[in-house]
Structure 1
Amino acid sequence: MDDNSESNEIHHEVVLNVNGDASKNCDESGFKDSVPLLKKLVAEVVGTYLMIFAGCAAVLVNLNNDHVVTLPGIAVTWGFTVMVLIYSLGHISGAHFNPAVTIAHASTKTFPLKQVPAYIIAQVLGSILASGTLKLIFNGKDGHFIGTLPTGSNLQAFVIEFICTFFLMFVITAVATDDRAIGELTGIAVGCTILIDILFAGPITGASMNPARSLGPAVVDHEYRGLWIYLISPILGALIGTWTYNFIRHKNKPMCDELTKIVPTKIVPFFRSSRM
């Protein structure tokens, strides 16, 4: 073929239809909120209950059976339980199960501030119910305190809980709120982070990272030694963790924008003439 020959090349232009109505479903925090609050609260109660029951049951079984579960086994139980609960309930309530996580999300306007008190009450209620259930099942000689107590100094426990929760919330913010992250791996990433934290912090502080996790057993067993550490340090760690990630992230879109779906509507072929 010579230089004057003409050929037709077929190209396809994808026309995208962005759902402009999505912003109408966003509240003042920029969070797309379509699930009724009552359903979200029930999900938080159930999720927190199952998390505390499974994790603390592993601790009790380990104590009552010559440490057969072992520290890695306890860490895997907590991590896998959180992972499956995120995939089960994340699309309903966000799968917080932790007042520190709820407060941290609200501080960056990725969660409605007005729902924070209700979420915290639901999480603490779930923890108390789970702790009470375990107290009824493992009573008498099988009874042990399943809460969290520092094995060293209060300062050491405070710093470790801060770092653990910072690590956890940093990962949560990265995988759950950044539209560039692989959202399908959220549960795995968060569950593995909890597993890692428990492996190094469990023998020292119990690796709570969650005020509700420590408060529930404390209320049931009336054991409040060092409780202030587990109420304050995780909240501070979570706040600094989410603020740090939001500072270094490339683009901080409102959650409403991240949840807006882009739907391909049609493919338009067109021809372009070109000369060789």
Structure 2
Amino acid sequence: MQIRYLGLTAAIAGMSLSSPLLADDTEKLESLIAADHRSEANIARNEYRHPVETLEFLGLESGMTVVEILPGGGWYTEILAPFLKSNGQYYAAHFSPNGTLSYQPPALMRFQDKLAENPEVYGETTITHLNPPYATYIAPPGSADLALTFRNVHNWIMAGTQHEHFETFYKAVKPGGVLGVVEHRAPEGSSMEFMSTSGYVTQDYVIELAEAAGFEFVDSAEINANPSDTKDYARGVWTLPPTLQLGDQDREDYLAIGESDRMTLKFRKPEM
């Protein structure tokens, strides 16, 4: 069994998942979101992130080639990698080892270590690197049935690379393929200054970015909406869980609100 990297192959011994492959994708997802390889803390996030409903809305199916864009600590990797194992292809487009921001290479190393420690679950994952404009080969061009990104768009706005990121996704997705975006939702009409500092982004601006890259807007869903999120916090979205940047200050109030109000958007690359 192997965890594959572009330019590097690490052979890792392991065995197949012990549970039988479930024919029904929904059953398989429902099993994976509470599987033993997931921590209690990550399983607790299911309440706010609705992974089964989100992935079904965005069109995930067995046998697909899927690219997860900047998977962070691997919350969705824990679901997508075993879901596609032996029946599909999963690319994790993580930070570049040459990333210019100090947190990026260590985050990549932690992700690599996470995968290497459990080859039974992650042994068929392919890690690629994303750092526009320098590293943009996240999957073979035109190969992905589905590209997914969760809570990342605000970071690209802060870095001023939002257009380059969406253009990269467009190259990786096949004609007729889908881009799925989940992002913290700002009130419509919010300024670029608000979006570049708060972590919240307007739904209209995300649609504008995707369409500028060539995607067509297909649909939106309120799967990850949270009307209790007032979006007016001192530390922006990071005031809320799971980050809770204010520490113990009003902690119970923020825990009661839960995770942020999020848009869930589906785009398609036009057929050529």
- Sort the TM-score into its range (normalised by shorter chain): under 0.3
Structure having greater relative contact order (Cα 8 Å, sep ≥ 6):
1
For the pair shown, the structure with the greater C-alpha radius of gyration is: 1
Hey, which of these two has a bigger chunk of strand by percent? Answer: 2
TM-score by length of 2: 0.25
TM-score by length of 1: 0.24
